[in-house]
Amino acid sequence: MIAVLAAAGAGAFPARVARLSYERGEGADGCPDAASLKQGIAARLGYNPFVDEAELKVSAVVSRAGTQLRGILRLERDRADAGPGSSPAQAVGQRELTGPASDCRELASAMELAISIAIDPLVTTRPAAAARDPQATEGAAAEPAPRQSATPSPPPPDDVAASVPAIEPRQPLQPDSGPVELEGEPFSRNRPRPAKVHAYAGLGVAVASMPLASPSLQLGARLQWKTASVGLEARVDPISSYEVAGGRIDSALVVGSVVACLHYRRFAGCGLVSAGALTISGAGYDDARQGATPYVAVGGRAVAELFRVRSFSFAVSGDLVAPIVHTSLQVSGGEVWKTPALAGGVGLCAVKHFP
């Protein structure tokens, strides 16, 4: 399909210039912006090909589709013979490119190359701008003017010359014209990506943190880079009742945690440090009391993303922690429950991804 785009660009637009329409959809925030894409194309061509009045229009849309990023490129040219009720533009080429959702570098590079070839098909036959001029800095390097042959070629026959459309040669940049300058911050594939904010809420079941398994509610937020994140989380296990020895024990747990994770595709492994309070009260006993004991635990979490809908995703998780502070419950001098060596839980959460 690159060949189709190239043929359309070369035959219909001899000036080798174009105007660009670029859009980043949902899930494509890590891809370069329009100014960075233009700069990458200009660097490949060795000149700035973008002119607002150009007949050739290149439309590029990048969006996330499941586990991949998808880029759709379309070529259109203005129609001089467009009449009332007819489209002012004629479609001359289209191509779809894909790349991994976790890294937009591969897709961005493929889009730069495809658009460069569509605008100037001879770009692949010339050395790159950086290779021609190692001292080149920002933008595209100047390209020397073509040499004139010492012996001019004989003119072609009239019938052949009449069948070949005239092609206006591209005017090279003059040495003193300076590098191509484009607005916006250049897109560097090596610079660290800014952290993004993710907020989540979930429901689950906690086991062994209290005398009985109980439902739990989680609320949290994290800062996430490409492969790592750190966040804060609050968890509440509401009151659950435990009947023993002719009475009832009510317990509830409130915990705050620091969560640090490593991410790979749809999966994550996390470390947890939790601290809070376990509230316990008794009813139906001669010496019934109410009080709170500290709760401190360390452990880990495994997370798997199930699916994503626009800027929301849904994931399941499993925790396994080791309580550091142990609590013992006694009724009439006998122990009826104490904090076990290990506790855990499973949950389902919804995550909101902010740009």
Confidence class for position 285, pLDDT limits 50, 70, 90: confident
Residue 65 and residue 100: Cα distance in Å, rounded? 10
Residue 338 and residue 49: Cα distance in Å, rounded? 74
How many structural domains is the chain composed of? 2
Domain endpoint, select from 127, 159, 190: 190
Residue pair 315/229 in contact (Cβ under 8 Å)? The answer is no
pLDDT at 293: 92
Q: Does the pLDDT value for residue 14 go beyond 70?
A: no
Confidence class for position 85, pLDDT limits 50, 70, 90: low
- Spacing of C-alpha 40 from chain mean position: 20
- For residues 335 and 257, which has the higher predicted lDDT (pLDDT)? 257
Beta-carbon count within 10 A of 272 CB? 19
Residue pair 211/240 in contact (Cβ under 8 Å)? The answer is yes
pLDDT at 238: 93
pLDDT at 207: 93
Confidence class for position 141, pLDDT limits 50, 70, 90: very low
- Domain assignment present for residue 147? The answer is no
Q: What is the mean pLDDT of residues 7-17?
A: 49
Residue pair 123/117 in contact (Cβ under 8 Å)? The answer is yes
- Domain assignment present for residue 167? The answer is no
Q: What is the CATH number of the domain that holds 323?
A: 2.40.160.20
Residue 126 Cα distances to 45, 133, 146, 154, 191, angstroms? 9, 13, 12, 26, 28
Residue 118 and residue 116: Cα distance in Å, rounded? 5
- Domain assignment present for residue 172? The answer is no
Same domain for 219 and 340? yes
- Domain assignment present for residue 168? The answer is no
Same domain for 185 and 214? no
pLDDT at 235: 96
Domain endpoint, select from 157, 190, 223: 190
Same domain for 183 and 209? no
Same domain for 185 and 213? no
Opening angle at CA 111, ends 109 and 114, nearest 5: 110
- Domain assignment present for residue 164? The answer is no
**Is pTM, for the whole model, over 0.75?**
no
Same domain for 74 and 122? yes
Residue pair 65/82 in contact (Cβ under 8 Å)? The answer is no
From the number of C-beta atoms within 10 Å of its C-beta (0-12, 13-18, 19+), residue 154 rates as exposed
Confidence class for position 86, pLDDT limits 50, 70, 90: low
Strand partners, 247: 244
Residue 216 Cα distances to 237, 295, 317, 325, angstroms? 4, 15, 13, 20
- Side chain identity, residue 245: A
Same domain for 333 and 312? yes
Same domain for 207 and 133? no
- Domain assignment present for residue 262? The answer is yes
- Domain assignment present for residue 343? The answer is yes
pLDDT at 310: 85
Rounded to 5 degrees, what are φ and ψ at 174?
-75, 150
pLDDT in tens, 308-320: 898 899 999 999 9
- Domain assignment present for residue 150? The answer is no
Same domain for 321 and 202? yes
Task: From 250, 313, 278, 337, select the one nearest 27 (Cα to Cα).
Answer: 313
Beta-carbon count within 10 A of 180 CB? 23
pLDDT at 192: 62
Same domain for 230 and 186? no
pLDDT at 153: 43
Q: Does the pLDDT value for residue 116 go beyond 60?
A: yes
pLDDT in tens, 204-251: 999 988 888 899 999 999 999 989 999 999 999 998 888 887 888 889
Question: Domain range holding 319?
Answer: 196-353
Per-chain mean pLDDT for the chain: 78
Same domain for 112 and 214? no
Residue 352 and residue 221: Cα distance in Å, rounded? 9
Same domain for 240 and 347? yes
Q: What is the CATH number of the domain that holds 2?
A: 3.40.50
Same domain for 219 and 124? no
